[in-house]
Amino acid sequence: MSLCTYFLVKWIAKRRGARKQKEGSTSKGTAAVSSLSWDMVGNEIEDEIGGIDSRLFSFKTIAAATDNFDNKNKLGRGGFGPVYKGSLLDGQDIAVKRLSKLSAQGAMEFKNEVELISKLQHRNLVKLLGCCICGEEKLLVYELMANKSLDAFLFDDTNRRKLDWNRRCNIIEGIARGLLYLHRDSRLKIIHRDLKASNVLLDDRFNPKISDFGMARMFGGDQNHETTKRVVGTIGYMSPEYAMEGQISEKSDVFSFGVLLLEIVSGKRNNKFLNDDEALNLLGYAWTLWKEKRVLELVDPSLGDSWPQMEVFKCIKIGLLCVQEYPVDRPTMSLVVKMLSSDTTLPAPKQAAFFGGRSPSFSISSMEYTDTSSTNGAAKTNTEIN
């Protein structure tokens, strides 16, 4: 009996010691990750995103905020899954991106987005409030944007009229400042790789905020470019050197910005052919009008006559400079911001890409394209080339 009692006491003491050690380890790990409050700490989260400065929500909290992901709260659906609006107990409105189990955005892209955006702070970047990993569920929680995404206005016949020239000009300048921050002014050097209208969110005053950093690439301090065998992005926005050769640089984002700028001016999508006879996309159409000195015909008719010709002409010219065939010919975002905000004399643009350029056999229609509806939390239209 004495021996049994001895071993029983030792066993109980050993279990208590193990429990205390585990609790101490968890507390220490949590404190190291963030000074913010955490709603849930579990093995899945520690494995996936341990050490990231972002708030972690419990699945129960997100489900309650969205009425258990009720369809009436659904803002839209992107290639990575549906996006819902919700409201936390403290009254804060949120947008929740719920990654589909069949989504192309796996654990690596999810972690990439949380890591990057949690470290970036700029008025023209969307604010990530936190995330949740629970079993197979992966959720991203953003601040709610009252006017959803840019494409919900720009490519809608009714909503487009709400974007007068002043608003469009403000959106163009805001996107440019956001990209400049990513490329030069943040402590990290970030190449977004998927800048497009559905990834630009608009607040209640139509101020733009760049979103969706799942495909973003972080560069080292002295790094200017790299080559990848995994090309991801959206057809119509990818630069030729990236789409065909996997070359990533700041100029990849500059090209995407140029496409987006021309879309904002014209109200037309680049990945829709505008002329069946000549198979022109928006870039080809804009370049044709430029050569024929009719480039102001590109302007969205819904603007009426309420736009300053010289200012619009300058924006179109900047857009064409950004979509030139070769990266070396394109301006940096710092120069783009300077050109937008001053009366600097601009050089004449050279040949626009994807229009009688380096690879005539390459066409947008030869690659898979899936159109998506706009969402608050960053709709996705991705093509991956292996």
Q: Which residue has the tokens 């052919």?
A: 273
Helix segments in 292-350, DSSP class H: 309-322, 333-341
Q: How far apart are CA 126 and CA 294, in angstroms?
A: 37
**Residue 201 to residues 42, 125, 208, 253, 308, Cα–Cα distance (Å):** 32, 9, 6, 17, 26
Q: Which of 182, 40, 45 is nearest to 120 (CA)?
A: 182
Q: How far apart are CA 208 and CA 171, in angstroms?
A: 5
Task: Tell me which DSSP letter residue 298 carries.
Answer: G
Dihedral in degrees, nearest 10, Cα atoms 140, 144, 146, 151: -20
Among candidate residues 39, 70, 156, 194, the one labeled active-site is 194
* Four-residue CA torsion sign, 338, 344, 346, 347: negative
Q: Which residue has the tokens 């928006």?
A: 282
**194 classed as catalytic:** yes
Determine contact, residues 140/282, Cβ cutoff 8 Å. no
Question: What is the enclosing helix (H) or strand (E) of 264?
Answer: helix 250-266
Could you give phi then psi for residue 142, rounded to 5 degrees?
A: -115, 165
Q: Which of 216, 59, 75, 33 is nearest to 140 (CA)?
A: 59
What letters, b where the CB count within 10 A reaches 16 and e where it falls short, cover 193-218? Answer: bbbbbbbbbbeeebbbbbbbbbbbbe
What residues contact 49, with CB distance under 8 A and at least 6 apart?
A: 56, 111, 114, 115, 131, 133
Q: Which residue has the tokens 């002409």?
A: 313
Q: Which of 221, 198, 61 is nearest to 126 (CA)?
A: 198
Coil/strand/helix, residue 80: coil
Bridge pairing between strands 225-227 and 200-202 = unpaired
Catalytic residue positions?
A: 194
